[in-house]
């Protein structure tokens, strides 16, 4: 990698802005932050808008869904984007599946056969390689992406994780990876408004959840059944003994030895 574009192997702000993505017109790159998501929130409250990106070489307080810790050592891609999508308030939930499709497609371009575990985890061979977190802040959405790139699985702190280094047998160019992600995100987020059915078709093609017996832990309880399909807005349809249940949020677990 050209050292003029990087510092310590991590892309510089100017090189990311030079990618020309409308999702990263204004970029902050930090050596260490508690959380790129919280820094993005601070920037929105200070007036930042669509096209703001925050990246960190290390996160000391990274988190995933439901506040879970996300170990974020050097070598990973820890990034948050400030979005003001052209979606009505009732359609903002579409950002999560669109981002999952974008992330999976970007990894396939690198030669990594990523699959989507509902609602927003990317797996390779059943092991998590990337997490996605979308949160509202005022009129904006903060899209956090944590991707285990140039590190070893044991550095993630999770026996259920993998990394791009492990899957490819080499390190990846982080600037190229960022460019692929931003390009795919721009496309999929653009389709989320008027062509969301096509986004969901791609989600199904990249899925590793449907057809499995699963348990979903969600706010308010637990539901078990067969993950049958998605509805028109991306909710998971579970076939249970008492009928079909629509699940809009939750944590999916495998049942009876099924592989996820």
pLDDT tens, per residue, the chain with 260 residues: 444 455 457 999 999 999 999 999 999 999 999 999 999 999 999 999 999 999 999 998 755 454 455 578 999 999 999 999 889 888 999 999 999 999 999 999 999 999 999 998 999 999 999 999 999 998 999 999 999 999 999 999 889 999 999 999 999 999 999 999 999 999 999 999 989 999 999 999 999 999 999 999 988 789 999 999 999 999 999 999 999 999 998 899 877 655 44
Cβ-contact 34, 59 below 8 angstroms: yes
| 96 contacts 85 by C-beta, under 8 angstroms | no
Checking DSSP bridges between strand 115-117 and strand 121-124, what pairing results, if any? antiparallel
Separation of alpha carbons 149 and 257, rounded Å:
29
Beta carbons of 212 and 237 less than 8 angstroms apart: no
The pLDDT score that the predictor gives to residue 1 is 41
The domains found in the chain, sorted by start residue, are: 3-205 (3.30.930.10), 213-254 (2.30.30.100)
Burial, 77: exposed, middle or buried (Cβ in 10 Å; 0-12, 13-18, 19+)? Answer: buried
**Separation of first and last alpha carbons in the chain:** 35
Say how far apart CA 96 and CA 134 lie, in whole Å.
6
Position 112 scores a pLDDT of 98
Contact call for residues 58 and 91 (beta carbons, < 8 A): no
Distance CA 10, CA 39 (A): 19
The Cα 242–Cα 236 span in angstroms is 16
pLDDT at 4: 45
pLDDT of residue 255: 75
Contacts of 2 (CB under 8 A, 6+ apart): none
Burial class (CB in 10 A: 0-12, 13-18, 19+), 54: buried
Strand (E) or helix (H) holding 127? strand 127-137
User: Residue 247: CB partners within 8 Å, gap ≥ 6?
Assistant: 216, 218, 223, 235, 236, 237, 238
């Amino acid at each position: 990698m050209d050292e003029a574009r990087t510092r310590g192997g991590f892309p510089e702000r100017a090189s990311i802005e030079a990618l020309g993505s409308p999702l990263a017109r204004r970029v902050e790159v930090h050596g260490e932050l508690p959380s790129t998501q919280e820094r993005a929130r601070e920037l929105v409250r200070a007036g930042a808008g669509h096209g703001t990106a925050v990246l960190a070489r290390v996160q000391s307080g990274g988190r995933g869904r439901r506040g879970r810790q996300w170990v974020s050592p050097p070598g990973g891609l820890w990034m948050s984007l400030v979005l003001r999508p052209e979606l009505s308030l009732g359609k903002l939930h579409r950002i999560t599946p669109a981002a999952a499709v974008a992330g999976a497609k970007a990894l396939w371009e690198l030669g990594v056969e990523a699959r989507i575990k509902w609602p927003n985890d990317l797996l390779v061979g059943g092991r998590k390689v990337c997490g996605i977190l979308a949160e509202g802040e005022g009129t904006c959405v903060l899209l956090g992406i944590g991707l285990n790139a140039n590190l070893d699985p044991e550095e993630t702190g999770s026996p259920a994780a993998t990394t791009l280094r492990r899957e490819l047998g080499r390190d990846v160019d982080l600037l190229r990876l960022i460019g692929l992600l931003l390009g795919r995100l721009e496309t999929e987020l653009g389709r989320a408004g008027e062509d969301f059915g096509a986004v969901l078709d791609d989600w199904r093609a990249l899925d590793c959840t449907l057809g499995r017996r699963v348990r979903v832990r969600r706010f308010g309880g637990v539901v078990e059944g067969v993950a049958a399909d998605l509805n028109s807005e991306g909710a998971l349809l579970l076939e249970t003994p008492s009928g079909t249940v629509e699940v809009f949020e939750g944590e999916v677990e495998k049942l009876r030895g099924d592989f996820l």
